[in-house]
Chains A and B, each alone.
Chain A
Amino acid sequence: KAGVTQTPRYLIKTRGQQVTLSCSPISGHRSVSWYQQTPGQGLQFLFEYFSETQRNKGNFPGRFSGRQFSNSRSEMNVSTLELGDSALYLCASGARAGGETQYFGPGTRLLVL
């Protein structure tokens, strides 16, 4: 099976812009979670989607949002970008809601200037 794919792999934006990141889970997986990874804060949970519904949300401002489509692909959107949003954004997929084992994609590296 193909693994989790994320597009784009690299992105450069300026403050105030918005960005949309995409994640395609492993075939057959219906759960998609998003994490932000920074050197200072480490890995932090953003949100999880299952069957097009947001199941859980981490402690991030409302500028961070997401959605999941009927084919389980997920998008994450960040509006009004701030310098502190520069990070590696990782997507993970699981077979079930919460899916005990989550499998990660290669990530999208976002740089905000």
Chain B
Amino acid sequence: AQTVTQSQPEMSVQEAETVTLSCTYDTSESDYYLFWYKQPPSRQMILVIRQEAYKQQNATENRFSVNFQKAAKSFSLKISDSQLGDAAMYFCAYRTGGSGGSNYKLTFGKGTLLTVNP
């Protein structure tokens, strides 16, 4: 079974600074997807960024980028120019890329609570 580990329960960053959230995963599959979701205090889970395992290029979405190291099974999220609105719980998630009846569930890490200090 796949597992996702987020080793940092809490992180803090100064407004306008850069922060990196860590995520490692364990899988024997070669085809899969990785995600970072953000869950602000209002509780709506929002997709931040997605990475396909077959793509070597790291995904980027505005101030959010990932460092995907497939061999090391590492998937970190970098938030540049942090803003107060970035404060939230961040979840790393894994999904198999298999087809034809595979188990498509998302497997989540425990989350990292990010605080942004003004």
Contacts and interface: CB of A to CB of B under 8 A. Distances in A.
Verify that A and B bind, or say they do not.
yes
Interface of A: 33, 35, 42-43, 45, 48, 55-56, 58, 88, 90, 92, 97-107, 109
Contacts of B103: 56
22 contacts: A33-B104, A33-B105, A35-B106, A42-B110, A45-B107, A48-B105, A55-B104, A56-B103, A56-B105, A88-B43, A92-B45, A97-B104, A98-B102, A98-B104, A100-B33, A100-B95, A101-B35, A101-B47, A101-B50, A104-B44, A105-B44, A107-B45
Contact of A102 (B106, B107, B111): B106
B75 interface: no
B104 A104 contact: no
Nearest to A47: B105
Given A90-B45, A104-B45, A42 B105 contact: no
Contacts of A58: 105
B52 to A, nearest CB: 8
Interface string B80-118: 000000000001000101000111111111110000000
